[in-house]
Every structure is written in C-alpha cells, then in structure tokens.
Amino acid sequence: MSPDRLLEIASVAELVRRRAEWEAEGRRVGLVPTMGFLHEGHLELMRRLRQRCDTLLVSIFVNPSQFGHGEDLAAYPRDPVRDAELCASVGVDALFLPAPEEVYPPGFDTWIHPGMAGERACGPWRPGHFRGVLTVVYRLFHWVRPQVSIFGRKDAQQLWLIRRMARDMGLEHRIEEGPLVRDPDGLAMSSRNIYLQPEEREAALALPRTLQALAREIAAGGNPQQLLAEAWQRLRSEKLLQPQYLELVDWQDFRQLQEGETLPQDLVLLGAVKAGKARLIDNVFLRKGREVEI
Ligand code: AMP
C-alpha cells in the first residue's frame, strides 16, 4: 500500500462519520493509539492488530495533558511524513491526526483519574500523567468504538491502567498487548531514545541489564526484597544515571509485593531512570511458574 492510499483524518467529526461507514459495511475496527515518531515497537503493534481487524486505524497525537511542567512536550520528536510511510508499509488503513483543540475543546475539564495502581511506579514521578493518558484513551475509545485495540508491554503500568479503566467504565472490547521491542543492544525502543548522547545510551543499558539479572535471580528463588535493594544500589552507582524506582508488582492487581509474601503467578519488575534529557522506563515479566519472559 502506498502512503497516498492511507486515509488521513484530521477532525473528530470526520472520524465519527467514517466510523459510521465502517460499521454500516460490517467492518471490524482495530485501534493503535500512539504519539508518533514511530519505531519497530509501534510497527509490531500494528502488524499484530492487522491480523485481527478489517479496518486498522492508528492515532498519532502528542497528548499535552500527559506531560507535566518541565517535561518535553515542546521538544517531543515528530516526523509525520515518515510516520505515514511506515504506517502504509504495514497495511494501516487510516490515520487519525487530531489537533489539540479537537481533543480538548475550550473549556474541557472532565478527567479520568486512575486508582491506587496509578500511584505506584511512574505515578509519583509524573503527577497527572496517567490522568492525561486515561482521559485521551477514553476519548479515543468513545469516538472509534474499536472492536479491538492494542498497547505495548513496554508501558506496562499504562497497559494495566487502560485495561482497568475499560473494565470500570464499561468500555469493554478486546485489548491486546504487544511485546516489548528492544534495539539490538538491549535498550527498549522509545521515541525518546534520540535524546541520548552515546555515553548516556551506554550507561542506560544498565536498566535492562539490572532488570533482567534481577528477574533471573528471583526466578531462581532468591529473596526479592533483598535482591531489589542490592540492584538499586548498583543502579545508583552508575555515574550518568539518575534512577527513579525499581519495583516488583503483582500483575493481577498491580500491588507491590510485601516482604516474605509468596510470589504470585504473574509478576512484573519495573524500573525508570533519567539519563541526560531522556527519562527511560523498562520492565521484565515473570510469568507462569516464574519463567522469565524478556
Ligand atoms: P507512544 O507513542 O510512546 O505513546 O506509544 C504508543 C504505543 O506503543 C503504546 O502502546 C506503547 O506501549 C507502545 N510502545 C512504545 N514503545 C514500545 C516498545 N519498545 N515495544 C513495544 N511497544 C512499544
């Protein structure tokens, strides 16, 4: 498919009109929400959803409400022409590219707040972030009414909160998850990786390495709290990194594990660091009989 066959939708009114047409044609609609500056992680989500729907819609919207004061909203990388080409190359049918005023008309002031799970991990480091994410995703779900959507495990806490929001707000449709895609050196792909200087990138590899080593040690039966404390000290000794957290949570309820607690079946180890201008997050899942999924 060539980029000129990609339908570009700029307004909510047009999106709603198109959605009605797809419905009349009996098409199953799949949605991949993104902030653009696409990479393999995004494309993998699109390829997976391509198999599960008739009309594949990708939204590209750098959502102002999920950026805090002093964060990188103005600097967030954008490349709409390349994004459209990449979308066409994996068989996307339509792109939704709304302006901020479309999503947040003047006077907009109703928000979706996460519960307790939003206060762990990234929560304290990005006040208001998940409120912005949930509100924009709620609005996308409302306009698109997808039969299926997909989110990446890279943003594990976000994925968990979106699933819970869909359940709690009665917006249930199938929410798939895509694998965390890494660069060959092991760093989780992120649009923000372009902020990294070469030496910062090298230092940042300590995050995936620490999480993966920790996961193996926990899987081998080590004491999680003790291992977490030791890993935290190692991460803190990295000169170019400012670690923000390392947490081990139960994937069922996104609750932090207590000292001495029996390990649940599904666990996720989460971490975040700042390296130069970039804030990086990463995670490793431990699933089914403590098998490590990297
Ligand atoms: P973003 O553009 O960063 O808002 O991300 C849009 C979607 O792509 C979210 O569902 C992310 O979890 C997902 N995503 C971003 N980076 C990756 C990655 N490295 N691997 C898998 N999914 C990703």
Domain with 78 in it: what CATH number? 3.40.50.620
Q: Report whether 143 contacts 103 (CB < 8 A).
A: no
Q: What average pLDDT score do residues 166-189 get?
A: 96
Neighbours of 230 (CB within 10 A): 15
Average pLDDT of the chain, as a whole number = 95
Q: What average pLDDT score do residues 193-207 get?
A: 97
C-alpha distances in Å from residue 179, one per residue of 137, 156, 176, 266, 283 = 20, 10, 10, 16, 11
For a mutational test of ligand 1's pocket, the pick from 37, 42, 162, i.e. the residue with the most ligand atoms closer than 8 A to its C-beta, is 42
pLDDT digits (tens, 9 = 90+) for 110-152: 999 999 999 999 999 999 999 999 999 999 999 999 999 999 9
Which of these, 98, 117, 135, lies nearest to 250 by C-alpha position? 117
C-alpha to C-alpha distance for 131 and 110, rounded to whole angstroms: 10
Residue 122's φ and ψ, nearest 5 degrees, are -70, -20
Q: How far is the CA of 259 from the centre of ligand 1 (A)?
A: 32
C-alpha to C-alpha distance for 258 and 290, rounded to whole angstroms: 17
Into how many domains does the chain fold?
A: 2
Q: Does residue 164 sit in the same domain as residue 47? A: yes
Q: Tell me which of 181-185, 186-190, 255-259 is least confident.
A: 255-259
Which residue CA neighbors atom 12 of ligand 1 most closely? 152
Q: Does residue 155 sit in the same domain as residue 233? A: no
User: Among all residues, which ones are annotated catalytic?
Assistant: 42
Which of these, 262, 261, 255, lies nearest to 116 by C-alpha position? 255
1 located within any domain? no
* Structural domain boundaries enclosing 142: 7-178
pLDDT digits (tens, 9 = 90+) for 72-97: 999 999 999 999 999 999 999 999 99
Q: How far is the CA of 262 from the centre of ligand 1 (A)?
A: 31
Burial class (CB in 10 A: 0-12, 13-18, 19+), 254: buried
146 located within any domain? yes
Q: Does residue 65 sit in the same domain as residue 198? A: no
Residue 222: CATH number of its domain: 3.30.1300.10
Q: Does residue 106 sit in the same domain as residue 243? A: no
Q: pLDDT over 90 for what percent of the chain?
A: 91
Confidence of residue 4 (pLDDT cuts 50, 70, 90): low
Residue 3 above 80 pLDDT?
no
Confidence of residue 1 (pLDDT cuts 50, 70, 90): very low
Which residue CA neighbors atom 11 of ligand 1 most closely? 152
64 located within any domain? yes
185 located within any domain? no
